[in-house]
A and B are shown apart, each in its own frame.
Chain A
Amino acid sequence: MMKILVCIKQVLDSDRPVRIHSSGKWIETDPHGLYRMNRFDEFALEEALRIREAFPGTWVDALSVGPERAAQTVRRALELGADEGIHILLDDERYRMPWETASRIAAYAGNKGYDLILAGVMAEDDMQGQVGPMVAEIMGYSSATAVMSEKLIPDDNRIYVERELEGGHREAFALTLPALLSVQSGINRPRYPALSHVLRARSQKLITIAAKTWNPPAPRDHVVCLVEPAPVKSSVFLSGSPLEKAEKLVKILRENAWL
């Protein structure tokens, strides 16, 4: 039986305003609690569920490292169809560097015998793209990032993957299992939760493990501060009613002889 772990992250909904925390090290916690699953991880979870459909008996765990609120996102993974939800609970809202997160995931997953670990290509909030390949390295798994297709063949201990390159080209690899893939967006169309899973998720307990169960990984880097970006160009915002703005824009387009 194949065992899959999907790494998911809870992120601030991207439509919410982003305010830098007074410490300068991360952003303010959203007062309305509008958090959701990182979209890139939705593709990873969907890919795991498709593998389970193709290979019945496959087991899918979903794991998130995060503060208390991250439990909602682990539960969301159950609603979408994960078999088990694991929450590595952080004590506070402080930002953790990718190495710290990867170390904790590897500490949990190390002796669980996962054949395949899936992650999104990056998180929408910190955009690092590091946790997946770092987990692979710590655990000695073969790995590929930006995966646009994967194929498993029964009784073959390899996974066949195509990863995305610039300009839409791809390169293909065969990875010996166990392996870790970070999947690129667009690899599939993530599903909506089925009612049966939603009902089950409501009563199912999460496996919650305090992050401090393990010795904290020694950080290798740290955030000095967050800053507002400096504008690249001095842009002019058009003002007025929608019609007035449209008039101004059309005038600019005509002055430059584009229209």
Chain B
Amino acid sequence: MAMMRCRDNEIMVVAELLEGRILPVTHEVIAFALALRGGDSQFIRMIVPGRDIQEMANELADAIGIDVIALEGDHLDPYNAEAWKMALSALLAEWNPRYVCIPHTSLGCDFAPGLAAGIEASCITAIEGVCNREGLITFTRSIFNGKVMMQVASDADMTVLTVLPGVFKAEEKFPTFPDHKKGRVEVVRVPEVLQKTRVLGMIRAEERDLDLSIADVIVSAGRGIGHEENLALIRQLAGLFSKSAVGCSRTVCDLGWLGYKHQIGLTGKTVSPKLYIACGISGAIQHVAGMSGSKYVVAVNKDPGAAIFQMADVGIVEDLTIFIPLVIDLSQTDPHSPA
């Protein structure tokens, strides 16, 4: 089926798949693209790179109602940065969209900057918001662990955007035009070329403790706890609650204070407990992405500027080596006895 080419206000979304299934984060990126297009899905198109994906592309086009390009190549699945960049840059040169939207996942972060560099596009990563400032489209992203937000605008004809997961709400069905109820599918076959990058396969994480995912209360430690010994306080605090678990930020794992199975965030676990107590956690978006679904957040940090306070229900600016022992003491006394 022939399609119109080169509509200069078109947006293309690169889908992310895992084992032949489209990941929910792709729907979030479509929601972002829709926000960028002012709710008009007519100019949004999805690229699905992979092997034998035509059938899935058809299903997606039917289900979501936007046009899909099935980018077919034996060397595109499993993911290979070099092959993806080559296939995508050829496709983008032909279609010339205004924006290319990619999930800000481990995979998206791997190929987006190189893709942009190679096709003279602007590249803006980890986007959390988009706004129109008197006709200038700007993209909002966190810097300094979320203490400040940066608004960036593109000066190039094409712009590659990576969209932070967990920010834009995915929708099941997107609005379409009356004569355009189902998306159309075009298959683009990519010839295999000699690669400098060879895929050797996936290494699965060891079985993790299920503690974090089923806990009602998570007490989490960040670099701000200062010393490894202070983990004892965190454990004691967690011990006050039934169905509780100890979590941490990536830095704490990197320092070797806790194993990676305790890590909460973009590259760790995503949790949504009833109560989340963040101790010495700065609130970097990489961590927040893993706990923003918590029902109630208590943050303890001696830095009043820490970004974690922006999303806390209760904030306590205090040295936690003084504060936590007080909480432990008080909670073990009978609330009905006179102080």
Contacts and interface: CB of A to CB of B under 8 A. Distances in A.
Given A98-B113, A224-B153, A166 B267 contact: yes
A134 B118 CA distance: 8
Interface residues of A, number: 83
A136 B114 contact: yes
A169 B202 contact: yes
A125 interface: yes
The list of the 5 closest CB pairs from A to B, nearest first, reads A168-B205, A246-B326, A186-B254, A172-B200, A130-B113
A5 B285 CA distance: 29
B267 A171 contact: no
Interface string A41-80: 0000000000000000000000000000000000000000
B306 to A, nearest CB: 10
A189 interface: yes
Given A133-B113, A167-B269, A168-B260, A229 B201 contact: no
B297 A233 contact: yes
Interface in B257-272: 260-261, 263, 266-269
Given A102-B117, A224-B136, A250-B330, A174 B122 contact: no
Contacts of A259: 240-241, 331
A14 B305 contact: no
A146 B205 contact: no
B118 A137 contact: yes
A171 B203 contact: yes
Contacts of B143: 125-127, 226
A208 to B, nearest CB: 26
A124 B284 CA distance: 10
Contacts of A245: 316, 318, 323
B267 A174 contact: no
Interface stretch (A85-93, A110-118, A193-201, A214-222): A214-222
Contacts of B117: 99, 102, 133-134, 137-138
Interface string A215-259: 000011111111111111101111000110111011011101011
26 contacts: A17-B305, A18-B144, A18-B148, A27-B144, A98-B123, A99-B117, A126-B150, A128-B126, A134-B113, A137-B113, A145-B110, A166-B266, A168-B206, A168-B263, A171-B203, A174-B197, A175-B197, A175-B198, A185-B250, A220-B120, A221-B152, A229-B147, A237-B314, A238-B314, A258-B241, A259-B241
A174 B198 contact: yes
B149 A220 contact: no
A107 interface: no
A165 interface: yes
Contacts of A144: 81, 110, 197
Interface of B: 78-82, 85, 105-107, 109-118, 120-126, 133, 136, 138, 140-156, 159, 196-206, 208, 216-217, 240-241, 250-251, 253-254, 256, 260-261, 263, 266-269, 274-275, 282, 285, 292, 296-299, 303, 305, 307, 309-319, 322-323, 326-327, 329-331, 335
A162 B203 contact: yes
A20 B82 CA distance: 38
Contacts of A235: 299, 309-315
B327 A246 contact: yes
Contacts, number: 265
Interface of A: 12, 14-15, 17-18, 20, 27, 97-99, 102, 124-134, 136-138, 142-146, 158, 160, 162-176, 184-186, 189, 219-233, 235-238, 242-243, 245-247, 249-250, 252-254, 256, 258-259
Contact of B138 (A97, A224, A231): A224
Nearest to B104: A129
Given A20-B148, A221-B156, A226-B149, A186 B315 contact: no
A236 B155 contact: no
A30 to B, nearest CB: 12
A176 B197 contact: yes
A220 B157 CA distance: 9
Contact of A133 (B114, B120, B147, B204): B114
A67 to B, nearest CB: 18
Given A126-B143, A229-B147, A168 B110 contact: no
Given A169-B203, A186-B254, 10 more contacts: A99-B123, A133-B117, A167-B205, A174-B197, A189-B256, A220-B123, A226-B149, A236-B314, A236-B315, A253-B275
Nearest to B241: A258
A225 B136 CA distance: 12
A175 B196 contact: yes
Contacts of B250: 185-186
Nearest to B309: A235
A196 to B, nearest CB: 26
B303 to A, nearest CB: 7
A78 to B, nearest CB: 24
B88 to A, nearest CB: 12
